[in-house]
Chain A
Amino acid sequence: MIRVVLCDDSFLAREGIARVLESVEDVELVAAAEDLDELRAAVEREKPDAVLTDIRMPPTNTDEGIRFARELRSSHPEVGVVVLSQHADPSYAMALFADGSERRGYLLKERVKDEDELARALREVAAGRSLVDPRIVDRLVSARVDKDPGLERLTPRERQILAMIAEGRSNNAIADTLMVTKRAVERHINGIFLKLDLGEASDVNRRVKAALLYLTGEGEG
């Protein structure tokens, strides 16, 4: 059972997300907070496995969600965080991963209607992994596919796998989705990292950030 604390300043969003989580068997919503102070208190009290929080909330309505995730990295390093955001901008995901990507997930807000995606995100961060909303990665790939000579060196299959890496999927998950063997996936990934000169491919957490960095155009050179 994954124990989750939820935080969103909108009543509608809180109720909606709570209802979606109710139908997920291995997730238990233990507290719902309205702002940063309540969220902090709830985490202290409940010691949850994961926090599911809106990116912006009072007092400043900017990026409290990301800043709180950073705070938890030192105060409660064992707590996973999924940040829900209306911004499809990869800069926010990179900001969330600034002090490490393990136990951190970045999801677009409209994803909450999809209980499978939401539950998967909570399971991933609770298990110590990371993930990025597939739509952000899709857009990154499509935005760069005509502009980046590096991406053009990849085969369509390799591009697909690079996107899945950036989303935070494990080798097993990739193998299942593509219906190939885990060995084949590993070979592909090694090939991609070699072609793009991204370094060591075995560390699953680091490779999310590396792939994302590459796709935002900062991994080159």
Chain B
Amino acid sequence: MVSLAGLYYASAKLGYQLEFAGPVAAILWLPVGVGIAFLYLGGLRYWPGVLIGDLFANDYMALPVGSALGQTCGNMLEVLLATVLLRRLVRRGSPLDSVGGVGWLVVAIVAGTALSASVGSLSLLLGDVITWHAAPKVWRTWWLGDSSGALIVVPLALAWYRPLVRRWQRGRLLEAVIMVGTVIALAEFATRSHRPLTYLVFPALIWAALRFGQRGATLAVAVTALFTVWNTIHYVGPFHFESVSRSVLSAQLFIPVAALTTLALAAVVSEREQFATRLGASRLRLVSAADNARRRFEQDLHDGAQLRLTWLAVQLRDAAELARRNPERLAVVLGEAEGELELAIDELRELARGIHPAVLVDLGLAEAVKSLALHSSIPVNVVELPPGRLDETTETIAYYIIAEAIANAQKYSRASTIEVCVSAVVDKLRIDVVDDGVGGAAERPGSGLEGLRDRAEAIGGTMELASRAGEGTRIAVAIPASRGV
């Protein structure tokens, strides 16, 4: 908490250094970003840190005490509101991981800072620091300054607070150094030159986002923002106009635009990387599932039919012996051998059915599902089946999904009935397998349910699992389908 107060205070002091005029209108108000990032990552219980930091940071020489306290109040609420909103809006993962997350981040920040700008402007008005006439301009500057500050600091903190684990190769490190150097050079050049060349900084920003993801993007944006502000307050560059408020406004607009563009790009890169990782993992699982299945068949053959046939050979040799010595026993031994042979035939038939159900190819999905229902140890109630045939891929995948879902229910659910509903709607096949068992099923790594999702997603389908403890399990799958020929 002390470190939060210290950080908040330090960034506020830095903010005052970057000010134009008076104690109110900062181009870039960084403390709000520090506060949001700290409370978001550390927890809301650190809020007194924000309060203490802000109380220390206030310029009591320039402001009436009432206005200063009002400002502090607004700043406090701003940080809390933005943090709570961000936590509510982005429930899973980092807001930077997806374009949607970046969008919600902007919403949270804009809402929080609007609150602070309103409370702050009002307390300045009531303290007679500003006039009614100047209020809208103060509000706007306040709002944009806080938003820009938050948009720089929060993503930077989110991207960098975890330690770097990946050890970079030398080439990669060199590229990172050159990239940062380029960002600095272009940002410096673009925001110092009086010609309108600000767009020059974008190739470097895009480079950072594409090649270095969230960390590169947030760092490059921060560097660019600092140069922009630095040059503008030193009265150079494209954002310097005769009028102070116009300078502030144009710099304030440039920073969020650059930040948002870069963050969105980094989020897209992030989304793609996550997708590639998941795809790779599911491919690996599919391959190993096939290997495991083969190993199981080998084992079944080895322990089953092969053993029986070996035993049969022994019995036949005994029979040959008996034919000479004890012809009366011969019939008994041969009868046993026949029984053994029938068992072997049965096992081979079941094994063949397990490898690939012939009924699926010969008679179609509907008959194959009925056959599954027949073999189930828990009664299966088949509610609906598609009339006619579907394309082969759909039928096969649908079959294995239903087989796996039923097998899963048999193993874990302790249900009294399983309900299967398969319906073809336009270009989709909907599969629902519902049981009335104990529920509480989850997609653990290596579980049948995960394999089920892999199968569905492999052909562009979706799977939903609802399995609250005590309420049974519902597996709902939709896969693309077309009519068979």
A residues near B (Cβ < 8 Å) are 56, 62-63, 86-92, 94-95, 110, 140, 143-144, 146-148, 216-218
Contacts and interface: CB of A to CB of B under 8 A. Distances in A.
Interface hub of B352, B359, B382 (most chain A Cβ within 10 A):
B359
A147 B352 contact: no
B442 to A, nearest CB: 28
Interface hub of B345, B362, B382 (most chain A Cβ within 10 A):
B362
A2 to B, nearest CB: 27
Nearest to B370: A91
Nearest to B352: A86
15 contacts: A56-B358, A56-B362, A63-B362, A87-B349, A88-B349, A89-B359, A89-B374, A91-B371, A92-B359, A95-B362, A110-B342, A143-B374, A143-B375, A148-B379, A216-B370
Contact of A91 (B349, B361, B363): B363
A95 B370 CA distance: 13
Nearest to A91: B367
B452 interface: no
Nearest to A143: B374
A216 B374 contact: yes
Contacts of A140: 374
Contacts of A146: 379
Contact of B379 (A88, A90, A147): A147
Contacts of B353: 87, 89
Nearest to B338: A113
Contact of B349 (A86, A94, A218): A86
Interface in B319-369: 342, 345, 349, 352-353, 358-359, 361-363, 367-368
Nearest to A94: B367
Contacts, number: 51
A62 B379 CA distance: 29
Contacts of B375: 143
Contacts of A217: 370, 373-374, 382
A216 B372 CA distance: 11
Contacts of B370: 91, 216-218
A90 B374 contact: yes
User: Chain A at the B interface: mostly helix, strand, loop or mixed?
Assistant: loop
A63 B363 contact: yes
Interface in B121-159: none
A79 to B, nearest CB: 23
Interface string B57-78: 0000000000000000000000
Contacts of A216: 370, 374
B402 to A, nearest CB: 15
Interface hub of B345, B370, B374 (most chain A Cβ within 10 A):
B374
A120 to B, nearest CB: 19
Contacts of A148: 379
Given A86-B352, A110-B342, A147-B379, A92 B362 contact: yes
A156 B294 CA distance: 42
A90 B345 CA distance: 18
A110 B374 contact: no
B59 to A, nearest CB: 81
Nearest to A55: B362
Nearest to B346: A88
A-B pairs, 4 with minimum CB distance: A147-B379, A91-B367, A63-B362, A62-B362
B192 to A, nearest CB: 78
A87 B363 CA distance: 12
A95 B353 CA distance: 18
Interface string B186-199: 00000000000000
Contacts of B382: 217
Contacts of A89: 353, 358-359, 367, 371, 374
B374 A95 contact: no
A217 B385 CA distance: 14
Nearest to A148: B379
Nearest to A139: B374
A90 B370 CA distance: 9
Interface in B374-390: 374-375, 379, 382
A140 B359 CA distance: 16
Nearest to A95: B363
B363 A92 contact: yes
A62 B363 CA distance: 9
B22 to A, nearest CB: 83
A148 B342 CA distance: 28
Nearest to A87: B358
B50 to A, nearest CB: 65
Contacts of A56: 358, 362
Interface hub of A63, A89, A94 (most chain B Cβ within 10 A):
A89
B276 to A, nearest CB: 40
A91 B373 contact: no
Nearest to A215: B374
A144 B349 CA distance: 20
A110 B367 contact: no
Nearest to B368: A91
Nearest to A140: B374
A88 B367 CA distance: 13
A219 to B, nearest CB: 13
Contacts of A94: 367
Contacts of B371: 89-91
Nearest to A149: B379
B367 A95 contact: yes
B361 A62 contact: yes
